Amino acid sequence: MRRFIRIIRNILLLVIAAMVILAGVLTFNVVTHRSRQIEVFAVPRAPIDRQGAATRLSEAIRFRTISNFLNPEQDAEALRGLQAHIAKSFPKFHATAKREIVAGYSLLYAWEGSDAKAPPIALLAHQDVVPIAPGTEKDWQQPPFDGVIADGFIWGRGSWDDKGNLYSMLEAAEAMARDGFRPKRTAYFAFGHDEEVAGVRGAKAIAATLASRGVRLDFVLDEGLLIAEGLIKGLDKPAALIGVAEKGYATLVLTAHATPGHSSMPPRDTAIGVMSAALARLEDNRLPMQIRGTVSEMFDTLAPEMSGFNRVALSNLWLFKPLLLREFEKSGPSEATVRTTTALTIFQAGDKDSKPATRTMCCPATPRPPSTSA
Ligand SMILES: [Zn+2]
């Protein structure tokens, strides 16, 4: 009995010692994981004509610049209207910067710098928007193309993505031009017209135009992510999320063929059944989650700014990685940061329910096979 108690006591001591060592390692990793933030002083806020800026953006939303890949001319008139509105709204900038139209509807402005040797930069935005899904018009709290200003917001398609960006840049440039500012380095403002359908006409042509002139940009600022406040668990400070690349994608078409047959005497395996089983297995076997590259760097940067358990967990990924990944798996956007996602998007199968027609009841003839490829 005494020997048994001694064994239990030793095991307990070992467990306690292991826990103390573990706590020590966790704490050490938290303490030595220092903040990467650099001390910067905020630029004083420039005075803004809030009402004027809001009105200009709300008017911009009324131009239905909905791009269409197959019909590039679909929004030609709306684009011309928007461009006239831009020219009218920002006269000082237009008197200062050189404007050219690229590929019919894209805009490229060059605000020439005072130092010809300073490497130029480019600020990007796009003029087009995506359409409204048919039948969802009544789901909008405010009409999508009216540019309503209400409850402290400007409502409508493009108010954020991306006329909001485009007009904000021009509001700033207009105010600076009015004050007689001249940039040291040349600043390009490039506004494509078909970004929502891949930008193969607009952005591509702008890039080719700049390349043909030997322009090498020091950096490019495009539309992107937001300053997240209260979106990241355990982080009380605002975090500026920087998009450094865009996720690419590949589209695969899967086809199954099976023996056709009438639904009154169907084959054992239908193409719809075979394909459905395969697709269900695809959904059950997703690509593995991993923390590496920019995601790992993001966690490294965020960890010291966090509080509580999240800080401990992110500073000790060697231990908490599985737990963290399980958390990330719970929501679509967070899951997409740690995994190559797969999605089943379009399904086509069959064209007839193949109820036997009355006629076939009286006069048995060769049944017409339904199409059974998926
Ligand atoms: Zn956009």
**Cα–Cα distance, 150 to 142 (Å, whole number):** 9
**Cα–Cα distance, 83 to 314 (Å, whole number):** 47
Neighbours of 2 (CB within 10 A): 6
- Ligand 1 center from residue 333 Cα (angstroms): 17
Burial of 108 (0-12, 13-18, 19+ CB in 10 A): buried
Q: What is the pLDDT of residues 181-210, one digit of tens each?
A: 999 999 999 999 999 999 999 999 999 999
- Tokens representing 357 are 């027609």
Q: What is the pLDDT of residues 240-290, one digit of tens each?
A: 888 887 788 899 999 998 887 777 888 888 889 999 999 999 999 999 999
Contact 197, 131 (CB under 8 A): no
Q: What is the pLDDT of residues 163-187, one digit of tens each?
A: 999 999 999 999 999 999 999 999 9
- Ligand 1 center from residue 126 Cα (angstroms): 7
**b or e along 17-32 (b: 16 or more beta carbons within 10 Å of the residue's beta carbon)?**
eeeeeeeeebeebbee
Q: What is the pLDDT of residues 83-136, one digit of tens each?
A: 999 999 999 999 999 999 999 999 999 999 999 999 999 999 999 999 999 999
- Ligand 1 center from residue 164 Cα (angstroms): 10
pLDDT attached to residue 374: 37
pLDDT attached to residue 366: 38
Q: Which residue has the higher pLDDT, 374 or 46?
A: 46
HSE-up of 78 (CA within 13 Å, CB side)?
20
Q: What is the pLDDT of residues 293-334, one digit of tens each?
A: 989 999 999 999 998 899 999 999 999 999 999 988 998 888
pLDDT attached to residue 110: 98
pLDDT attached to residue 356: 42
Residues facing 129 on adjacent strands: 66
**Cα–Cα distance, 127 to 78 (Å, whole number):** 10
- Of 68-77, 121-130, 360-369, least confident by mean pLDDT is 360-369
**Cα–Cα distance, 188 to 210 (Å, whole number):** 10
As a whole number, mean pLDDT of residues 60-81 equals: 96
pLDDT attached to residue 354: 64
As a whole number, mean pLDDT of residues 342-369 equals: 60
Q: What are phi and psi of 221, to 5 degrees?
A: -115, 120
Q: Which residues are catalytic?
A: 128, 195
pLDDT(373) > 90: no
First to last CA, the chain: 71
Share of the chain above pLDDT 70, in %: 94
- Ligand 1 center from residue 152 Cα (angstroms): 22
As a whole number, mean pLDDT of residues 80-85 equals: 98
